[in-house]
Amino acid sequence: MSTLETNSIGKYNGNNVSIDDALNLKSYDTAGRDALTASAGDIIYNTDEGTIDFYNGTAWFATSGSSFSLSVEYLVIAGGGAGGGDTGGGGGAGGYKNSYSSESSGANSSSLDALTISPATSYNVVVGAGGSGGSGTNGTSGNNSSFSTVESTGGGGGGGIGTDTASARNGANGGSGGGAGGRGNDSAAPASGGTGTPLQGLAGGTSGSSPASCIRTGGGGGGAGAAGTNASGQTAGVGGNGLASSITGSSVTRAGGGGGGNTRYSIYGCGADQPGGAGGSGGGGAGSNSGTGTAGTQYTGSGGGGGQYNVGTGGNGGKGVVILRYPDSYSITLSGGAASTSGEQTDGSTGYKYIQIESTGTVSFS
C-alpha cells in the first residue's frame, strides 16, 4: 500500500500560515481564464502574462509582474467613405472591429479578443475622419481609426462619372467598399463596386447595367453588416446595413453604407423622377436625384450618399469613433487632443464604465 505524502501547514499568530513546499496555482492562459465561471477571491496563474491574477467579483486583475493590468473591450470604427459626384456611388462604411461580449465584428465575423493593457502606459487613439464628397469625380475614402494595436480601415469612396470608362468609375476598396458610379453616356459599360476588408466590412454595389438612354444610376456603398446593392435600370443601389452593438449599455447601429445617386429624369425628358438609393441602417447617407447626396452620420463611420447626375456632389463620409469599456474601479484620462462630448459613463450596475472617444490623442487608466 502506497503512502500518501502531504505538505505540513503550520499556523502562527493571526491568519499567518507556512507551507513546506512552494504553492503551485492552477495555470490558465488569458482566454482560458476569461472563460472560467469565477467567484470573487479566485486566484490563478496567467501563463500568457506571467502574472498571478485574482477575480474581484467583476473582473480579473494582475497582482504580480512589472505592472498591474486590466482588460479593455473596444469598438473601433474608421471614417466612412464619401459618395461620388454625378450619379455617384455611395461611400462604403469604415472598417468595424468589435470585441464586446459575443457581438459580431465587421462583415458579420466573430467578436474579437479584448485587449489586456497596463494602466501605467499611455495608449494612442486615432479617430478617422470621413472622406470628402466628389463633384464630377469619385468621393475620397475615409481615414483609419485605431486604439493601441487595433486598427480599422477607412471606408472606400464611391465612384463618380469620371471619364466614362468603367475603371475610372469603380468604387474604392476599403473597410467596406464604395459603390460604383453611374454611366455618363449610353454606351459606357457598368462599373464595379469596391471590395471590403476581411472581418471589417462588405463590398459596394455595381452601377446600372443594360445601357439605354437616360439610365444613369450609382451603386450602393457597402456596410459593416451587409453589402451595398447593385443599381438596376432606373433604380439606384441601396447602402448596406450596419451592425448593432450594446457596448454603451443600449443597442446602437453604426457603420451603414451610402446610397447611390440617381438622375432627375424629368428635366432630361426621360420620364418620372426616381429617388436616389436609401442609406444603410446605422447612419448611411441617402443618394440624391436633385443635388448633393446626404452625408454619413458623424461618429458612426457611415458612408455618404452619391450625388445627382450632372450637378450633384457626393455626401461626405461620417467620422469614425472609438468606444472603450473597462472595469469601474478604474478611471480614464484623455490627453493630447483626445476628447469625448459625453465623458466617462457608468454602465448601470454591471461594474463597468464606457467612454465614446471622438478625436485623436492618447488615453491612460488609473
Domain membership flag for residue 2 = no
Q: Give me the pLDDT at residue 258, please.
A: 98
Do 45 and 165 fall into the same domain? Answer: no
pLDDT tens for each residue of the chain, 366 residues long:
445 455 555 555 566 666 666 778 898 987 788 888 888 888 888 887 677 888 877 677 776 544 567 899 999 999 999 999 989 999 999 999 999 999 999 999 999 999 999 887 899 999 999 999 988 899 999 999 999 999 999 999 999 976 677 788 999 999 999 999 987 776 778 899 999 999 999 999 998 765 566 778 999 999 999 999 999 988 999 999 999 999 999 999 999 999 999 988 888 788 888 999 999 999 999 999 999 999 999 999 999 999 998 888 999 999 999 999 999 889 999 999 999 999 999 877 688 999 999 999 999 998
Do 173 and 299 fall into the same domain? Answer: yes
Do 141 and 216 fall into the same domain? Answer: yes
Domain membership flag for residue 166 = yes
Do 16 and 157 fall into the same domain? Answer: no
Single-letter code of the amino acid located at 200: Q
Domain membership flag for residue 3 = no
- DSSP per residue over 114-179, as a string? PEEE-TTS-EEEE-PPPPPPPBSSPPPPPPPEEETTEEEPPPPPPP--TTS-HHHHPPPPSSSPPP
Do 263 and 350 fall into the same domain? Answer: no
Domain membership flag for residue 46 = yes
Q: Give me the pLDDT at residue 5, please.
A: 54
Domain membership flag for residue 219 = yes
Do 320 and 174 fall into the same domain? Answer: yes
Domain membership flag for residue 239 = yes
Domain membership flag for residue 4 = no
First to last CA, the chain: 57
Do 179 and 279 fall into the same domain? Answer: yes
Q: Give me the pLDDT at residue 18, please.
A: 62
Contact present, 139 and 88 (Cβ < 8 Å): yes
Pairing of strands 243-245, 17-19: unpaired
Q: For the chain, what is the domain count?
A: 3
Do 275 and 146 fall into the same domain? Answer: yes
Domain membership flag for residue 233 = yes
Do 15 and 80 fall into the same domain? Answer: no
How far apart are the C-alpha atoms of 43 and 36, rounded to whole Å? 11
- Structural domain including 332 reads 326-365
How far apart are the C-alpha atoms of 327 and 255, rounded to whole Å? 26
Do 212 and 288 fall into the same domain? Answer: yes
Q: Give me the pLDDT at residue 19, please.
A: 64
R_g of the chain computed on alpha carbons: 26
From residue 272, give the alpha-carbon distance in Å to each of 130, 133, 206, 211, 234: 33, 26, 23, 18, 10
Do 103 and 193 fall into the same domain? Answer: yes
Do 316 and 335 fall into the same domain? Answer: no
Cα 7 versus chain centre, distance: 54
